[in-house]
Structure 1
């Protein structure tokens, strides 16, 4: 036995382990990435200099371990490969671990030479095939997480704050998953009586601005965020229809959920009907309304057409549609897009790189001229007081005039949001009502 053991590297045969325990260990480290120092101790990084020699070494190594593993490495260049196809055959549980180990070794040790990205991992009847191709460091490392390290970040995060996560787990378990976990911005909006939005959570997941997220991806992100936060019980997607199942009984809570989901899709650039029943909120894509909004915004951007004239056209269009449950929501969307579009035009015409309260004031004065309004501006410390002295749009307080005023206010909000994002807040000081002669809002900066 001593003579037999002496034939092999002592690092390989330094310990023996029960078969069932060994399989359990392999299962537990599944979808976790190995530290680079462990990889480099198992296979010397210098072996990356030749794919042929690496293949021979790995097969010899696993033959000595009696694992019954067969490894094939095919590449377009033995010394500096840009394409690698790896195939591993053998015991299913073992080859899964070995595939992960060798792929990590190839990717991490290729970063300083010619980064290799994992393009595909295919399970066959005989084993596993992995295709790697030349890429960049970022995508190469990301591909490891996608294919082999799905639980890696989760485990690492829990280990950094175990007490916090254990407490959170226990609360969800004790409440039978009736806990709600939301972003701080969402909670602040609730406290202030606003309609809470999910832009921050969605953008953090998508890693890009909400306007750049394709609709199909957006719907699946909403499903993930709404379900994991426990704001709703379940979300179903049927093509471009989103159905939210909830357990709320309070009408105000249901209405906030409806408007919040609608606002999120509006921020994504799409118009949806948002209907609420006792336990369901149904959001149906209305591309026809979105197309009409885009037409009106384009008309306003490229001409001096009065906004109230275009609104009259749009209002008539909405009245002619069936199943539009909430016309003000459609007008809100029109107002926000109009404000953004007008600001983009002013930004381009005047070569604006960064928005300040000063150039924002000048831009609004230009926009007010297009909307046929007379306004005044006054600084109050960090705040800016915006007063509308004359508004040709404001009429006699009838239904259409009220809709127009609502849309113009949303135009202002759209402009403010485009210029400053979440940094600026608009506080209404005085709204024009029948018999009054001015409106006032305060723009607050942090």
Structure 2
């Protein structure tokens, strides 16, 4: 039975009824009936709970950067709603009105069912709309992947308004964009939760040491224990998700900064255009020298030559593209030449004699030597059908090389050890003048050849060097 009554309410009460009036298209009776039906019950939906505002704000802040699990997302918003952006928008606004979050959501799109682009605009309290923006973005990306993946192109946060632009893309780009804009802490939190005891211990040690703990890859540490120069390229490549040779220089410098600062190997890295300024607190000159060589070799592996200078607490690495181009030109000539190994060897001798055309810095000679040493081995390998290198084959190659360049040398093979002695180097000696840079380049060519033949398996022990004042050069090559 319907009972008709006349009631009088003031303007303030009418304002409070506004959400219900909008919901029922201005039907005053329907709005009143809804309020009566809810009388004595919670004003929130059945699956919602009231919470203190300050606690809610703290909780929303703490989950910033963390994505919602898929099963929770599906309970929160029906995946079917993605089939109509208009219905999704209406559902969301209705939902947040019921929760009394005072959030307004507006969608702009070119197609209701299969949009090529969507612009979402949210207005309200900043901590609330940040959370809702993350939820909506995750919902849009997750539920669009199977049809037309939507990638988050941009996010603008202005005062109490957030605008999110999405556009058609690939599954990979869409997923990555979600992590970039809204899931920066997601992987971190999952990692910590997967091994809480481990991460608790790590964090505790860093705190107790005031962040003076060093965290490096096992391969890096192994190289240090083996008294080798560690490159640490594996950490760089893991972050870049591509080989070190394919990383652009600008990205490479940023990765070096990230890896070396967060690992605490060094204190701080500053990037000045294409140059690096390394700040450290090491006291040992040997340690500083090893850090310098590590970075120079790492950048060289990336295809760029840097001139290192050291001060008390700094290492300055200056990019030298002029030297790099000269070295690459020489090596390319060797590689593209169709001449025989002997002729290439003569070219190498000519280059050694003409090294004064290259800027007078040790770095350029070092890089040139290693690259040409590798190139010579590749040419000999190709001409002689070498498939596997051993000490006997390596000895044979350098006996040929030394005879051609008139280097007085001796070889003694003892099992897996090879003793190499140079009594006189005619390339580095001209009259009574000894050119240490030419000597250094020749020595690095030898190292480049050795590394090409045996990789990290070969251990090179330097016993004597003419450049250090000894009467001869003597090295021992050891294989495991």
In structure 2, relative to structure 1, the CA distance for the partners of 1:375 and 1:29 (3 Å cut) is farther
CA 1:94/1:315 → structure 2, altered by over 3 Å: closer, same or farther? same
TM-score normalized by the length of structure 1: 0.82
Matches within 5 A, 1:26-65: 26-65=60-99
Indicate conservation of the 8 Å contact 1:393/1:404, yes or no.
no
Question: Which residue matches 1:107?
Answer: 141
What secondary structure is seen at the aligned counterpart in 2 of 1:109?
Answer: helix
TM-score (norm 2): 0.77
- Describe the superposition over 1:33-86 as per-residue Cα deviations: whole angstroms up to 9, x where unpaired: 001111111111111111111111111111222212121222232212221111
Tell me which of 349, 353, 359 is aligned to 1:312.
Answer: 353
RMSD (CA atoms): 3.8
Q: Aligned match of 1:66 in 72, 93, 100?
A: 100
Correspondence for 1:402: 439
* 1:11 and 2:67 aligned: no
Counterpart position of 2:305:
271
- The CA distance in 2 between the partners of 1:237 and 1:278, in whole Å, is 19
Indicate the structure (1 or 2) with the bigger Cα radius of gyration. 2
The 3-state SS of whatever aligns with 2:358 is helix
Secondary structure of the structure 1 residue equivalent to 2:154:
strand
Report the counterpart of residue 124 of structure 2 in structure 1: 90
2:291 maps to 1:254: no
Q: Using the alignment, how far apart are the partners of 2:394 and 2:89 within structure 1?
A: 66
Separation in structure 1 between the aligned mates of residue 399 and residue 179 of structure 2, nearest angstrom: 52
Q: CA deviation at 1:272?
A: 1.0
Pair 375,301 (structure 1): closer, same or farther in 2 beyond 3 Å: farther
Q: How far off is 1:26 after superposition?
A: 0.9
- CA contact 2:292–2:315 (8 Å) conserved in 1: yes
Residues 322-362 of structure 1 deviation map (CA, whole Å, 9 limit, x = unaligned): xx3xx1x3222113333555678899x89x9xx96379999
Task: Give the secondary structure class of the aligned counterpart of 2:256.
Answer: helix
**CA–CA distance in 1 between the matches of 2:472 and 2:67?**
67
Number of aligned pairs?
424
- The verdict on how the C-alpha distance between 1:179 and 1:430 changes in structure 2, with shifts beyond 3 A counting, is closer
1:348-379 Cα deviation digits (max 9, x unpaired): x89x9xx9637999999899979958999x9x
Alignment-derived partner of residue 202 in structure 1: 236
Tell me by how many angstroms 1:402 deviates.
Answer: 2.7
| Cα contact 2:463–2:473 (8 A) shared by 1 | no
**Distance change >3 Å, CA 217–CA 391, structure 1 → 2:** farther
Q: Partner of 1:281 in structure 2? A: 315
The structural deviation recorded for 1:29 is 0.9
Stretches of structure 2 lacking an aligned partner (at least 5 in a row):
1-34, 338-342
Residue 172 (structure 1) shift: 1.5
1:238 equivalent in structure 2: 272
Report SS of the residue matched to 1:164: helix
CA distance in 1, matches of 2:435, 2:154: 59
State the alpha-carbon separation in 2 of the partners of residues 285 and 246 from structure 1.
20
Q: Distance in 1 between matches of 2:396 and 2:94?
A: 78
Of residues 220, 243, 249, the one that matches 1:215 is 249
For 2:124 and 2:387, how far apart are their aligned partners in 1?
65
Q: Structure 1, residues 89-108: CA drift from partner, whole Å, max 9, x if none? A: 12221111111101100101
- Equivalent residue number for residue 425 of structure 1: 457
The structure-2 alpha-carbon separation of the partners of 1:108 and 1:364, relative to structure 1 and needing over 3 Å to count, comes to farther
Conservation of the 8 A alpha-carbon contact between 1:339 and 1:414: no
